[in-house]
Amino acid sequence: MFTEVSAGLQSLKLISDFLEANRSLKNYNELESAIADVYAKLHTANEKLASANELILDLQQRNSSLQAKIDDLEREKLGKSEFETEIRKYQKHTFPTGMIAYAIKQEYADSVDDYDYVCKQCADNGKLSKLQPTLIRKIIVCPNCGSNIWIKK
Ligand SMILES: [Zn+2]
């Protein structure tokens, strides 16, 4: 592309030199041919500039798309590290029914009788979802995945 622009400029210089040397315009055909050559070279250079601009736009779009993905991954990574910090406060707990959840470790419980369980299925998928009591006192439910955990027979 820059080669074509440079060639176009060189041709202009040649025309200028030619005009200087042939002020009488005796060789009009040669001049016309040189001008046509300059136009052709400039046209080629313009086409290459246009396609280079398209390429730049495309690369800018790809760059911003990749930046958005990087931002998403960084947010996800931050979320995972928060999850890792929180899940360490829990330990696996098996209810008398044989069903499993994660129960808050005693040292992290707000009170002695703190009833704090996290859904095992969601925790295995990297989400911290606290199990909620239901009207049926034998069942607690995960608001995220809808799992019912039978805690009493
Ligand atoms: Zn769940």
Residue 71 CA, ligand 1 centroid: distance in Å: 27
Q: What is the pLDDT of residues 115-147, one digit of tens each?
A: 789 999 999 999 999 999 999 889 999 999 999
Range 96-130 burial, b when 16+ CB lie within 10 A, else e: eeebebbbbeeeeeeeeeeebbbbbbbbeeebbbb
Residue 144 CA, ligand 1 centroid: distance in Å: 5
Domain extent for 18 = 2-80
Q: What is the pLDDT of residues 7-39, one digit of tens each?
A: 767 777 777 776 666 665 567 787 888 889 989
Structure tokens at 85: 């910090």
Is the same domain home to 11 and 36?
A: yes
Residue 39 CA, ligand 1 centroid: distance in Å: 71
Residue 43 CA, ligand 1 centroid: distance in Å: 65
Is the same domain home to 75 and 6?
A: yes
Q: What's the CA gap between 19 and 69, in Å, rounded?
A: 59
**pLDDT at residue 91, as a whole number:** 96
Hey, which bits of the chain come out as E strands?
Answer: 90-94, 100-104, 117-119, 132-133, 139-141, 148-150
**pLDDT at residue 125, as a whole number:** 92
Residue 110 CA, ligand 1 centroid: distance in Å: 22
Residue 129 CA, ligand 1 centroid: distance in Å: 6
Cβ–Cβ contacts within 10 Å for residue 150, how many?
14
Q: How many domains does the chain have?
A: 2
Name the domain boundary from 35, 55, 80.
Answer: 80
Q: Minimal CA–CA distance to 38: which of 52, 19, 23, 24?
A: 19
**pLDDT at residue 29, as a whole number:** 81
Residue 103 CA, ligand 1 centroid: distance in Å: 14
**pLDDT at residue 113, as a whole number:** 62
3-state secondary structure of 65: helix
Is the same domain home to 16 and 44?
A: yes
Q: What's the CA gap between 34 and 4, in Å, rounded?
A: 15
